[in-house]
Amino acid sequence: MIWWSPLTDAPTPSRSGLDSILTSGFQFGGRYRPEHLIGRGGMANVYLGTDTRLQRRVAIKALRPEVAIDKDSRKRFQREAHAVSTMGHPSIVRVYDAGEEMIPAASTEIPIPFIVMEYIDGKILRKLMDNGPFEPKVAIHIALGILDALDESHRAGIIHRDIKPGNVMVTPTGLVKVCDFGIAQAIEDPTNDPSAIVGTAQYFSPEQAKGEIIDGRSDLYSTAVVLFEMVTGTPLFTGDTSVAVAFQHVTQTAPRARSRRPELSPELDVIIAKGLEKDRTLRFGSAADFASALRGIKNLIGTGPAPRVDITPETVESTINRPAAPAPIPPQTSGKPPTLDLSEIRDSLRSDTPPQTKTMKWILTVSAGVVVVASVIAGMMFWVLTLGGAPGVTSMAIEIPAVSLQQFDDAEAAIVKLGLVVKHETASSDTVPAGTVISTSPEAGIRVAAGEVVTVVESTGPELKAVPDISLTALDKATAMITDAGFVLGTVTKDYSATVAKNAVISATPAPGTELAAGEPIDLIVSTGLVKVPNVVGKSIQKAKELLEAVTVQYQVNVTTDLSCGGSVVKSQSIKAGDGPQHQTIDLVYCAG
């Protein structure tokens, strides 16, 4: 079978034929030899290969010839290489090289772009998830790997835009790798369309589905969808078409994870729900914030204490590879979502322009239903919350008291006394003293029903950060590292060193790794680049060598005997006592007469 390329009058090989040509000794860039096909995507094929110069295994991703015809596709592919090459995180697949190669069998006019990447000997998360729900500790471990990778990419100004299980790999050692930045968008790049709908509908953020401008919080929504699916064993939304699924991301409240798997802890349930907020301003502000929340979970299952589990190759592999029964899917409460062309409803989702024809009729029907339900709920709330004003009737609503800046124990007692339930959380604060309340949710003055949960956030005081390891670092760079970590440079003292270069740090106080509040001073001892040379004239040769070869000097000693003098002592030294350069050989004259 052959397919005809519009770029040339000659027939070109079929996919399998081209694969055969590439894996029969062809080399990209004169050094990267594809050996066999290991993946085929919508835009590109991936081959396991060898870097013949360094003799190491690599993955070679080559744009498919029929896709390379499109200039935008080539640009997007090249953008992936650039995006990933700017990052060096262990949870992001590394890019070693990239370029374009003319493959006459495919085209005589258009070169084929390729990317040479780190070869990951692991399993695609999508395949692992087919076995059913994960143990929460494993799901969180994988989610943290994704979030750590996103934190790196977002700091580099890159939004992934297609976080999904098919773009995540887990190695046999449990290392999580995020790959396929092929549709990544540079946040500040004006050549990209920030509202272009790209990604996978099952893991779309609402703003992606609506064609709005996106930011890093869209990646966080997609991560929350993946985490939901890992712990429940079921997709967040299902539908007959991708458009139907995308529409649910926009219009339907995400189900709670505990509705699919009741034994999950409330803490994990709340964190996933926050990640799935339709309004991105209500989600976590950054990948680091999302990861911090997951790392702070105390209970993974139910209300009992979470077991302490270290993620090791054994625990990851045994838990991931153990088949588990799929979690039950709640019965559908409505019919199939309408099959719509997203372009028909996009304008109605992001503007006040009335939609037309059938779309308008359908949306008005849905809107009417929403209005009716909202009216009923609003009426009930008004009735409950205004009962206190009716004569002879006791109010059923409880007003959240103002407890900010009170001691937590006092605040908890006051809230519990009103018939409410306290959920205790902690957070660092530079302004609120440790042990006192930062805030409550709902806020003070809000009326709620008896038995409602009130989250009370207790201050742990200023955030503690670890002193960075700046040993052997040049003073100017060490100063920058101290400042970047939130500390200030304290006293700088100069001292002798036999090994540390001039103006480099010998030691820091407090020591690296010590946790301190922001703004604390870090004192440094910096090398003068000199040693203190001892005076060994008149000393025995053994004592002289001991002093000069000590760790504080570390000189190479060369001894010459002088038979014209006696006493068995050193007569002279080639480098005089006092300040001396590092790494020297010193000549001693020894009286042996």
The count of residues in the chain is: 593
C-beta neighbour count of 569 within 10 angstroms: 17
Cα angle 134, 137, 142 (rounded to 5 degrees) comes to 75
Catalytic hit among 148, 162, 180, 219: 162
State how far the Cα of 104 lies from the Cα of 119, in Å rounded to an integer.
27
State how far the Cα of 384 lies from the Cα of 198, in Å rounded to an integer.
46
State how far the Cα of 196 lies from the Cα of 191, in Å rounded to an integer.
12
What's at 483, amino acid-wise?
T
C-beta neighbour count of 375 within 10 angstroms: 10
Is residue 261 a contact partner of residue 327, using CB atoms and an 8 Å limit?
A: yes
- Order the strands of the 421-427 sheet from edge to edge: 421-427, 453-459, 437-441
State how far the Cα of 426 lies from the Cα of 488, in Å rounded to an integer.
26
Residue 376 in tokens = 């009923």
Beta-bridge mates of residue 436: 407
Is residue 79 a contact partner of residue 92, using CB atoms and an 8 Å limit?
A: no
Beta-bridge mates of residue 49: 34, 58
Helix (H, G, I), strand (E, B) or coil at 500: coil
Rounded (10°) CA dihedral 78, 80, 81, 84: 160
Q: Phi-psi region for residue 249, left (φ > 0), alpha (ψ -120 to 50) or beta? A: alpha
Residue 291 in tokens = 């990861």
Q: State residue 430 phi and psi, 5-degree precision.
A: -85, -15
Question: What letter does residue 135 receive in the DSSP assignment?
Answer: P
Helix (H, G, I), strand (E, B) or coil at 112: strand
Asked if 279 is an active-site residue, the reply is no
Catalytic residue annotation:
162
